[in-house]
Amino acid sequence: MTMNSTGRPTAPTSVSAAAIETVSGSRGLLQHEDLLFEIGTPETTGVDLPKPKGLKSRLGGVARKVDTGLPGLSEPQAVRHYMRLSQKNYAIDLGLFPLGSCTMKHNPRLNEKMARLPGFGDIHPLQPQATVQGALELIDELATWLKTLTNMPAVAMSPKAGAHGELCGLLAIRQALIARGDGETRKRMLVPESAHGTNPATAAQCGFIVDEIKANKRGRVDMADLKAKLEKSEDVAGIMLTNPNTCGLFETDIREIADLIHKAGGYFYCDGANFNAIVGRVRPGDLGVDAMHINLHKTFSTPHGGGGPGSGPTVLSEALAPFAPVPFVVKDEDGIFRLVEQVDGEASESFGRMVAFHGQMGMFVRALAYMLSHGADGLKQAAEDAVLNANYIQARLKHVMSPAFDGYCMHEALFSDAFTADGIETIDIAKALIDEGYHPMTMYFPLVVHGAMLIEPTETESKAELDRFCDALESIARRAAQGDDTLKGAPYLAPAKRLDETRAARKPVLKWAAPDASKVAAE
């Protein structure tokens, strides 16, 4: 017998993939998958449970009348359902995810493993404190890291996400104002127009009135506008400022801003969403900050999970620390860790409780594992590499795209759409990146830059990955500058084509409904 050294013959003529129709609706490895409700039945179950004994109910008649009718799947069917759906997602584990202000960095698997230790994952928030000393110690240890990295004296651990951390900071400010008798008069919260939408939304949720400050030509706070807004200052509650800001720039005048707001009798809330650019190099406590939330799911690598869970511990200055929410962990002299859960005694000035239980413990474990792995030296290096990577992208693309501002950026590079030909928009460039195998950058944010494209590579990308990405984006940018209309139809190679968002909003279909039998018959 001889070896077949030539392999199987390939087809002589090439056919466009788009022309090939399939019966199944699948496209090769990308399998079509109907909704659960179309493939399962209410009688199917993928778990084997013991049979109930038929004891007499103690519900006292408060019993469900109509069954849920929800379908189930056997275990193999369920596995395939979710695996097939997973194939339609892009993820950081697949490639660069340059979503500006979102900090999509590598999520180490060690952190997942640690969070799943029964001693962390299988403990109840209300079991006796003597049986969870290791958990309380972990919270205390993470709190120490956060306080040390920020040079702030206190941290509230319970906020559930970034916006919840903002709420925590503003509630602390509100309580401080009430405590000094200014609660009714100081209602005005200064917020730069470049701020993330959560900032004004949070301020409004706390009963503050949002007063927008302009950005200057350098993408920073317009100091003249700020000073004008502070001229009459009896009603000023504070300022919410993101630093580095949403343009990817460090606020040059931040110390002066802090001084001005303090002199005006207000407090300085810093949105810490972009802490990754400066962690280990700059401590917000050295900048005059009164409160800052830290997104553990950004800077400290806990996975975004397709939209959460996050975690937003909020560091507080001496001025705001007494008003921190309950619960918090204290270490007593005998080395025992203790939860302070009620607003009295040592927490008598606390503004209250934001949430059931103690915060996002699962995220705490992951974040601490990440911090211990990096250490003080590694975190500093990570920030520097994040900033280096962003500046490298800016340098490589500034000749074909339009940098929004002059000079170096921090951890994200911001471009406007000034370079595009008429008719080509930011969204077309973003969608064309999908065809090149990348998640798009953040688009149309911040609002202060026309057609904004905000690119945040993070430190976990290699130079080779950055080069491949820049090559792709450079090519798209050139096509956009030339007015290549084919960009308008992108993406062509994604699991779905552009989706009709207007239709979704006009007549919302927000859950599956069984097809109307009469209509089905008519078809």
Partner 1 sequence: MRYLPLTPEDRASMLATIGAKSVDDFYTDVPEAARLKGKVPGLPDHQGELAVERHLTRLAAKNRSASSGPFFVGAGAYKHHVPATVDMIIQRSEFLTTYTPYQPEIAQGTLQTLFEFQTQVAALTAMDVANASMYDGSTACAEAAVMAARVTRRKKVILSGGLHPHYAAATRLLCEAQGLEVVQLPVAIDGEGELAKAVDGETACVIGQSPNVFGTVTDLSGVADAAHGKGALLVSVFTEAVSLGMVTPPGEMGADIAAGEGQSIGNGLNFGGPYVGLFSVRDKLVRQMPGRLCGETVDADGNRGFVLTLSTREQHIRRDKATSNICTNSGLCALAFTSHMTLLGGKGLKQLAELNHEAAVELADALTSVKGVELLTPRFFNEFAIRTPMDAEAVLAMLDEAGIVGGVRASRLFPGDHLGDVILIAATECTTADDIAAYADALKEII
**CB nearer partner 1, residue 250 or residue 469:** 250
What is the number of alpha carbons within 13 Å of residue 446 lying toward its C-beta? 26
Q: Binders of partner 1 among 207-236, rule CB under 8 A?
A: 207, 210
Q: Binders of partner 1 among 175-194, rule CB under 8 A?
A: none
Residue 497 in the binding site for partner 1 (CB under 8 A): yes
Residue 340 in the binding site for partner 1 (CB under 8 A): no
Residue 164 in the binding site for partner 1 (CB under 8 A): yes
Residue 508 in the binding site for partner 1 (CB under 8 A): yes
- Residue 27 structure tokens: 């496209």
Residue from 496, 517, 521, 522 in contact with partner 1 (CB under 8 A): 496
Q: Binders of partner 1 among 87-106, rule CB under 8 A?
A: 87-94, 97, 99, 102, 104, 106
Neighbours of 31 (CB within 10 A): 15
d(CA 488, CA 431): 8
Residue 123 in the binding site for partner 1 (CB under 8 A): yes
Which span sits near partner 1 by CB under 8 A: 3-11, 304-312, 315-323, 418-426?
A: 304-312
Residue 499 in the binding site for partner 1 (CB under 8 A): yes
Tokens 């802090």 found at: 258
8 Å CB contact between 247 and 214? no
Residue from 186, 188, 293, 297 in contact with partner 1 (CB under 8 A): 297
The H-assigned helical ranges of 353-461 are 361-397, 426-435
8 Å CB contact between 111 and 366? yes
Number of residues that bind partner 1 (CB under 8 A): 206
Residue from 7, 61, 181, 335 in contact with partner 1 (CB under 8 A): 61
Residue 196 in the binding site for partner 1 (CB under 8 A): yes
Q: Torsion angle of alpha carbons 75, 79, 81, 87, nearest 10°?
A: 180
Residue from 154, 230, 292, 354 in contact with partner 1 (CB under 8 A): 354
Query: What is the nearest approach in angstroms of partner 1 to the Cβ of residue 422?
Result: 22
Residue from 110, 330, 336, 418 in contact with partner 1 (CB under 8 A): 110
- Residue 166 structure tokens: 């903002």
Residue 167 in the binding site for partner 1 (CB under 8 A): yes
- Residue 391 structure tokens: 């500046």
Smallest Cα–Cα separation from 410: which of 289, 251, 295, 292? 251
d(CA 247, CA 218): 10
From residue 441 to residue 480, the character string flagging contacts with partner 1 as x (rule: CB under 8 A) and all else as - is ----x-------------xxxxx-x---------------
Residue from 203, 226, 294, 432 in contact with partner 1 (CB under 8 A): 203
d(CA 445, CA 250): 17
Residue 41 in the binding site for partner 1 (CB under 8 A): yes
Residue from 17, 27, 113, 423 in contact with partner 1 (CB under 8 A): 113
d(CA 46, CA 369): 34
Query: What is the nearest approach in angstroms of partner 1 to the Cβ of residue 518?
Result: 21
From residue 236 to residue 275, the character string flagging contacts with partner 1 as x (rule: CB under 8 A) and all else as - is -------------xxxx-xx--------------------
8 Å CB contact between 103 and 458? yes
Q: Binders of partner 1 among 4-23, rule CB under 8 A?
A: none
Residue 56 in the binding site for partner 1 (CB under 8 A): yes
Edge-to-edge strand ranges of the sheet holding 402-403: 402-403, 413-416, 453-455, 442-443
Residue from 26, 75, 180, 234 in contact with partner 1 (CB under 8 A): 75
Residue 108 in the binding site for partner 1 (CB under 8 A): yes
d(CA 470, CA 160): 35
Q: Binders of partner 1 among 368-427, rule CB under 8 A?
A: 368-369, 372-382, 384-385, 387-389, 391-392, 394-396, 408-410
Query: What is the nearest approach in angstroms of partner 1 to the Cβ of residue 333?
Result: 19
- Please give the full DSSP string across 179-234, using - where no structure is assigned: HTT-TTT--EEEEETTS-THHHHHHHHTTPEEEEE-B-TTSSB-HHHHHHHHSS-T
Residue from 152, 155, 166, 454 in contact with partner 1 (CB under 8 A): 166
R_g of the chain, CA atoms, integer Å: 27
**CB nearer partner 1, residue 13 or residue 21:** 21
**CB nearer partner 1, residue 7 or residue 451:** 451
Query: What is the nearest approach in angstroms of partner 1 to the Cβ of residue 208?
Result: 9
Q: How many residues does the chain have?
A: 523
Query: What is the nearest approach in angstroms of partner 1 to the Cβ of residue 521?
Result: 21
CA distances in angstroms from 204 to 159, 167, 179, 432, listed in the order given: 18, 10, 20, 37
What is the number of alpha carbons within 13 Å of residue 241 lying toward its C-beta? 33
